Structure 1
Amino acid sequence: MTNALVLQSDFGVSDGAVNAMKGVAYSVENTISIFDLTHDIPVFNVWEASYRLIQTVNYWPKETVFVSVVDPGVGTDRESVVVKTLSDQYIVTPNNGTLTHIAKEIGIKEIREIDEEVNRLPHSGASHTFHGRDIYAYTGARLVAGVIEFKQVGPNLPISSIKMLPIIQAGVQDDTLIGMVDILDIRFGNLWTNLSRKDLEGMDIRYGDMLSIVIKRENKVVYEGTMLYGRSFADSNVGHPLVYVNSLDNLGVALNQESFANKYRIESGVDWKIIIKKVNTNMK
């Protein structure tokens, strides 16, 4: 039995692009097990592609091969690479920032540039706009099926060559936690931050405490309010805000059964800062 091939892109599923990638993979080996991470990454949003990988990769077995194609620089001289993570999975992707969260949170053992003379779909040489099909799905499938070993992907590159997107490092200043809105829990409109549960515990913040929350876009305050730190959404009334611990053990901000992001027009990324402080309810 072969290992799994997991696909991610910003292609959507309204046309045949994803299906073509799967067809290429099956043409390499028709017993490959193919799974979709998501194909609903907002177009050209490399940041979100990076985050969705870190949200998922740790829950797959060793030797799983991920193909991530969010590639606004397709056809340019940006590198096409395969990395091996410290947890022994492989990621096939353009070297354009997609590996930021993986490099930071898991770590990368080795990176190789794809040799397109060898690892490219036969008879596709005249096409320079669909590397997801012609290079990434093809190379990923060849790795999964054992047609090539990792060393046959292409030449080694230094780990330092991995392109990294800017990140606001979560931290503590005096009695204040400062981080960023990493991503949106899109369907429900919750904000997922890069502040961890342990960050709150280090500030002696416990479930049931009230927290002051400020969210800024660059230097402009977009939201300011006080809310409960709860175990689950049921700890607040419908329509009321709360801070909670999400499935990655980081802090989320939500409105119970409403979209916090939509109501306050909040997005994600390095421009979006969150500031959290414990409210002293004993003050008179």
Structure 2
Amino acid sequence: MLKHVVLQTDFGLSDGAVSAMYGVAKSVDPSIQVFDLTHHISPYNIWEASYRLYQTMSYWPEETVFVSVVDPGVGTDRLSVVVKTNSDQYIVTPDNGTLTHVKSHIGIKEVRIIDEKINRLPRSGESHTFHGRDIYAYTAARLSAGVIRYEEVGPKRDEDRITCLKEENAAINKGIIRGCIDILDVRFGNVWTNIDRRLLVEADYQYGDRLYVTISHHQKDVYKNKLLFVRSFAETHLGEPLLYINSLDKGAIALNQGSFAKAYHIGTGTSWGVFIQKVDE
């Protein structure tokens, strides 16, 4: 089987940090194929890292090893873990909330704490600020290359003790759907909600309907408008706001060839509420 290691960080690409992680992996086994998920997670944004893993992982084969390093607690007593998911993939990461969406939507079979006495880059000195290179990339490569078995990562930990961030479930009540903004489609400024398509079906919303959409932040309304519910952007005019189903089968809000998030200063997280209902004829 091909050896895949997929890296995600908030490091950016303006210095040598990511290249160093590549080098560590290749030093373990030159045949390992190293890929980038993204290195443009917003600095310290654990929620965003958690979501990007969920967004991406299901499209990779079994046995792929993911490394996610968004680690504002590096050097503290937070744990470093490797989890095996229900889809037989692995994630090497700090236990700081990065596994939130994977645990909820994919599922975790087993958790092991990284034994840093064994799984640490030799001659990495006393540095405690670059675990992405010295521990995570090194452990991921050893696991992917078969240098160590999963059981040799370190001691088991109860899956229920994994650190998770607060999530909010979308729901429907009397024809009104309530959800929150999970993430932004950053480059295009589209707003991705946690409202599953099945809720829109349950509410009997049809393509072509005009729907009344309200967005609030800390329970204060910041946007209200009637949006057309469409299959694709081509069904609206340039600059027109719209509601559509995104690539994760969730409701999303956009401006046709514009950034909705920038236009209305929209952020992400459970403090950003989204309410959808049919327009009264």
- Per the TM superposition, whether the score is higher than 0.5 is yes
CA contact (8 A) 2:216 2:222 kept: yes
Shift of residue 279, structure 1, vs aligned partner? 1.3
Counting matched residue pairs gives 281
Counterpart of 1:119 in structure 2 is: 119
Counterpart of 1:64 in structure 2 is: 64
Q: How does 1:1-284 map to 2 (within 5 A)?
A: 1-281=1-281
Shift of residue 2, structure 1, vs aligned partner? 3.4
Shift of residue 179, structure 1, vs aligned partner? 0.6
Task: Give the stretch that moved more between structures: 255-264 or 159-168.
Answer: 159-168
Describe the SS at the equivalent of 2:270.
Answer: coil
**CA distance in 1 between partners of 2:178 and 2:88 (Å):** 32
Describe the SS at the equivalent of 2:117.
Answer: coil
CA contact (8 A) 1:2 1:145 kept: no
CA contact (8 A) 1:10 1:44 kept: yes
**CA distance in 1 between partners of 2:12 and 2:250 (Å):** 28
CA distances 1:82-112 after superposition (whole Å, capped 9, x unpaired)? 0000000000000000000000000000000
**CA distance in 2 between partners of 1:11 and 1:167 (Å):** 25
- Aligned-pair identity (%): 59
Q: Could you list the runs of 4 or more consecutive aligned residues of structure 1 that deviate by over 4 angstroms after TM superposition?
A: none
Describe the SS at the equivalent of 1:271.
Answer: strand
Shift of residue 125, structure 1, vs aligned partner? 3.9
**CA distance in 2 between partners of 1:280 and 1:220 (Å):** 23
**CA distance in 2 between partners of 1:153 and 1:125 (Å):** 21
Shift of residue 3, structure 1, vs aligned partner? 2.0
CA contact (8 A) 2:3 2:31 kept: no
Shift of residue 270, structure 1, vs aligned partner? 1.4
**TM-score, length basis structure 1:** 0.98
CA contact (8 A) 1:22 1:34 kept: yes
How well do the aligned residues superpose, as a CA RMSD in angstroms? 0.7
Shift of residue 196, structure 1, vs aligned partner? 1.1
CA contact (8 A) 1:190 1:252 kept: yes
**TM-score, length basis structure 2:** 0.99
CA contact (8 A) 1:7 1:66 kept: yes
**CA distance in 2 between partners of 1:152 and 1:172 (Å):** 46
